[in-house]
Amino acid sequence: MGKKKGKKQEGGGEGGGGGKKNGKALAKEQKRKRQEQKANQKRMKERKKKEGLHDRGDDEEDIEELLKRLDQEGEALKAAVTTVLPAPPPPRSHTSFTLLPNKDILMFGGEKYDGQRVHVFGDLHRWNVEKNEWRHILSPVTPKARCSHQAVVYNDCVYIFGGEFSTFYQFFHFKDFWKFSLKTNLWTKIEVANVDEVPHARSGHRLAIWRNLLILFGGFHDTTRETRYFNE
């Protein structure tokens, strides 16, 4: 990931103009965070209203066990397989749309709420501009299903970081880092020797390429009891 930039010195020189600007920027940032928190709380309330206020322990599988089961279901595949779809992929939100160098579009993950349960996708699709068609790409090793992650393209690879897997009542945030080769259609998990250098698990963040660096900023971590917003 890119290195953090040093903090700018406070104050704005003569006349105190810098102090006023810093104050306005801080107030604007606090307002944005409040709006994001309200939006997230509203989403949870809408889900609970549609489903009813029943105990999740009665009918909802533990989220970590669910993730393990989904991993086991995809272990049988031995090589990358690409299939042309007769229709577009299922509707979803909070997916990643990555414009590739040849103008194709790579779509990964996302979520859909059907009024009864939350569906989180772990599928990968590529829109071929020249042929006007969707292709579904299956690989032996893939990231876990997720939404609200971020993806960027650099050279011949697409990189993704973070995101979340959610059920009606539970959230699981990721801090894994993956690379998808546009030449081989294979995923590779990028491991870091010092785990303390890995950014906190999060979703809703932003990624950008600057020269040969991958810059990550912001995001949030929701435990349903508490929401933490990152300013890093």
Within-domain flag for 15 = no
Instruction: Copy the structure tokens of residue 16.
Output: 């105190």
Instruction: Copy the structure tokens of residue 44.
Output: 């949870």
Query: Residue 60: its pLDDT value, please?
Result: 61
Residues 100 and 33 in one domain: no
* Positions of the chain with pLDDT under 70: 1-23, 26-27, 30-31, 33-61, 63, 66-77
Within-domain flag for 209 = yes
Query: Residue 111: its pLDDT value, please?
Result: 96
Query: Residue 139: its pLDDT value, please?
Result: 93
Alpha helix stretches (DSSP H) within 52-152: 56-59, 63-73
Residues 102 and 157 in one domain: yes
Within-domain flag for 139 = yes
Residues 46 and 65 in one domain: no
Residue 215 is inside which H or E element, if any?
A: strand 213-217
| Total number of residues shown for the chain | 232
Residues 36 and 120 in one domain: no
Query: Residue 11: its pLDDT value, please?
Result: 42
Q: Which domain holds residue 44?
A: 20-52
Query: For 170-209, b where at least 16 C-beta lie within 10 A, e where not — what string?
Result: bbbbbebbbebebeebbbeeeeeeeeeeebebbbbbebee
**Using an 8 Å Cβ cutoff, are 22 and 30 in contact?**
no
Within-domain flag for 10 = no
Within-domain flag for 115 = yes
Query: Residue 18: its pLDDT value, please?
Result: 53
Which pLDDT tens digit goes with each residue over 48-78? 444 444 444 445 667 677 666 666 555 666 7
Residues 96 and 152 in one domain: yes
The CA R_g of the chain, rounded to the nearest whole Å, is 20
* Residue 117 half-sphere exposure toward CB, CA atoms < 13 A: 9
Residues 70 and 41 in one domain: no
Q: Select from 107, 109, 112, 161 the least CA-distant residue to 135.
A: 107
Within-domain flag for 4 = no
Residue 150: other Cβ atoms inside 10 A: 23
Residues 48 and 65 in one domain: no
Residues 37 and 123 in one domain: no
Residue 168: other Cβ atoms inside 10 A: 17
Distances (CA, A) of 23 to 30, 31, 230: 11, 12, 19
Residues 65 and 48 in one domain: no
Residues 81 and 119 in one domain: yes
Query: Residue 52: its pLDDT value, please?
Result: 46
Instruction: Copy the structure tokens of residue 167.
Output: 């059920």
Distance separating alpha carbons of residues 110 and 148, to the nearest angstrom: 7
Within-domain flag for 9 = no
Alpha helix stretches (DSSP H) within the chain: 17-51, 56-59, 63-73
Distance separating alpha carbons of residues 54 and 140, to the nearest angstrom: 38
Domain CATH number, residue 79: 2.120.10.80
Q: How many domains does the chain have?
A: 2
Residues 131 and 46 in one domain: no
Query: Residue 195: its pLDDT value, please?
Result: 83
Residues 224 and 130 in one domain: yes
Within-domain flag for 12 = no
